[in-house]
Structure 1
Amino acid sequence: MTDRRMTPATDRVALSSLRDVMMREIYTDGEPARVSVPVADLLAQPDGARDRQLNFGADVTIIEKRGDLAFVQAVRDGYCGWIRQADLTDQRPRITHRVSAPATHIYAGPDIKQRETGFLSLNARLSVVGTEGRFAQLAEGGWVPLQSISDGFASDPVEAAESLIGTPYLWGANSRQGIDCSGLVQAALHGCGLACPGDSDLQRAAFAEVEDMRRGDLLFWPGHVAMVCGDGRMIHATAWQMRVIHEDIDSAIARIDAAGDGPFLGINRPGREEISF
């Protein structure tokens, strides 16, 4: 069965690459666009629930426009869904940096006393066109602190995940304002330049199962994922505490099993497939 989350097609329009795979009224090569707001919801249906979120600077391919929404496929992980057209722009200057801090503000000018005009989360993609003092100027307008951005990827997914400790749990979310279990894992791996699907079942299917447990491995339950930190601990975004926390692995396995949310499904090791900056 085709997984709608990863299928770039609506009930009437599909990407041209699917021409010999599924029947649709219209086939299109798609239209490139970029997320222009701090965080945008990706909906399962035009009037449906949030599946995931896309952060500022995420590139997408528009497949169909319908009313004030557009059906898109995210370039980085292939996830598909409906997004507000107002949250997209056709302006796509060259990406030079990413937000490397858990979050940062956009300022009206290169001064911390200036009024903030926006909020950006870890891994937001930026086009820096200049610097002044301790600030970088964005092509889209506004300034961000140089301390909060990087022109490269991090090296340790666990450290990237741990930078989001305390972030509120929010189902289907992908930002410092709110994040869920699979969003945390994806943010950690993307922050290190590694490919990662958006949902926990897709992550489990994408990565090889292993017997031994190492730092950075992923632990899976039905509908849930955590990352191994070492020393018997894991990190995860959990509705149990409604935030990103550390937890003892053995205790977590027992607690989740006792709550009827098990069983523990096993350990998978993220691959080394790289993503573009």
Structure 2
Amino acid sequence: MNHDRRLTPATERVALDSLRGKLDRPEYTAGEPARMAVPLADLMSAPDGHRDRQVIFGADLTVIERRDGWAFVQAALDGYCGWLPEETLSPELPPITHRVTAPATHLYPAADMKQPEICMLSIGARLAVEGTEGRFARLVTGGYVPLQHIDDRPVRDPVELAETLLGTPYLWGGNSRSGLDCSALVQIALTACGIPCPGDSDLQRDAFPEAEQIRRGDLLFWPGHVALAVSADLMIHATAWKMAVIRENIPDAIARIDAASDGPFLGIRRPGG
């Protein structure tokens, strides 16, 4: 059986119990729940390896193996697996109540915007709010975030949310306001609307049904690339061509990508059917 490394919760030593009888390993484990406790961390192919994706604040994870200060984990969001520094994880799992819906916000030590910020939190960060003080939400894990930047309800329009990220720098494997790639933009937009979405463009293409005519909210695919349709003739995507999130005319993009020999256009997929 061929197992996709990105989605297989196993190292060469240890696998999740769910893989017993499917994957031979010396040890199996039920896994250990944990949560991302820092604003952002690279999810790597190996300890000190290359970045596959990133994990942001509040993400739930299952720890499968710990080794020399590293943890091999599987992300609850999309099943993606990889290595993170152990120090980025917390065993504390207070109930998540809100999500950051602004492109980014700041975590403050007090309910006061004039206080020096603790850190930046990116769009999609998951928060456990225990109360409010003025125009700030107080987190169970400590710190305060502006109420204007968070919500406890899904976003309605993935395109509208994606457009708030226009100008964000392109970053291979990036998943945050600080930098993101094509599949991250799509994943951020869809998951904000409560639509489950894989982390890489090939997985995204496999996840959703085909469509014949482009409409708002559709996904457009090329080899190794995905864009989100704003309308029948306009799209938004994170592209290395401009090293940023941009809008682009769809026919122009198809012609440009074909001319660069990065095609062909692979078609349309429709999240939510």
TM range (shorter): over 0.9
Partner amino acid, structure 1, of 2:68: G
> Cα deviation per residue 1:100-156 (whole Å; 9 max; x = unaligned)?
101000111111101100111111000011111100111111110000000111000
Cα distance between partner residues in 2 of 1:185 and 1:38? 20
Cα distance between partner residues in 2 of 1:83 and 1:233? 37
Cα distance between partner residues in 2 of 1:59 and 1:246? 32
**24-33 or 208-217, which moves further after superposition?**
208-217
Residue aligning to 2:271: 270
Answer yes or no: is 1:156 the counterpart of 2:157.
yes
Answer yes or no: is 1:32 the counterpart of 2:33.
yes
Q: CA deviation at 1:37?
A: 0.5
Mind listing any 5+ residue stretches in structure 2 that lack a counterpart? none
Q: CA deviation at 1:78?
A: 0.5
Cα distance between partner residues in 2 of 1:219 and 1:177? 24
Cα distance between partner residues in 2 of 1:46 and 1:266? 36
What stretches of structure 1 move > 2 A for 4+ residues in a row? Answer: none
Q: TM-score, normalised by structure 2?
A: 0.98
Classify the secondary structure of the residue corresponding to 1:60.
strand
Partner amino acid, structure 1, of 2:44: L
Asked if the contact 2:36/2:58 (under 8 Å) is kept, the reply is yes
Classify the secondary structure of the residue corresponding to 1:116.
coil
Residue aligning to 1:227: 228
- Equivalenced residues, count: 272
> Cα deviation per residue 1:206-228 (whole Å; 9 max; x = unaligned)?
11111111100000000000000
Cα distance between partner residues in 1 of 2:195 and 2:188? 10
Classify the secondary structure of the residue corresponding to 2:265.
coil
Residue aligning to 2:79: 78
Equivalent residues in 2 for 1:1-277, closer than 5 Å: 1-230=2-231, 232-271=233-272
Asked if the contact 2:214/2:232 (under 8 Å) is kept, the reply is no
Classify the secondary structure of the residue corresponding to 2:63.
strand
Cα distance between partner residues in 1 of 2:132 and 2:269? 42
Q: CA deviation at 1:231?
A: 5.0
Cα distance between partner residues in 1 of 2:180 and 2:10? 27
Q: CA deviation at 1:47?
A: 2.6
Partner amino acid, structure 2, of 1:147: Q
Q: CA deviation at 1:271?
A: 2.8
> Cα deviation per residue 1:160-186 (whole Å; 9 max; x = unaligned)?
111111100000010000000000000
Cα distance between partner residues in 1 of 2:236 and 2:17? 41
Cα distance between partner residues in 2 of 1:202 and 1:89? 29
Partner amino acid, structure 2, of 1:182: S
Asked if the contact 2:171/2:179 (under 8 Å) is kept, the reply is yes
Cα distance between partner residues in 2 of 1:76 and 1:220? 22
Cα distance between partner residues in 2 of 1:28 and 1:93? 23
Q: CA deviation at 1:20?
A: 1.0
Q: CA deviation at 1:76?
A: 1.6
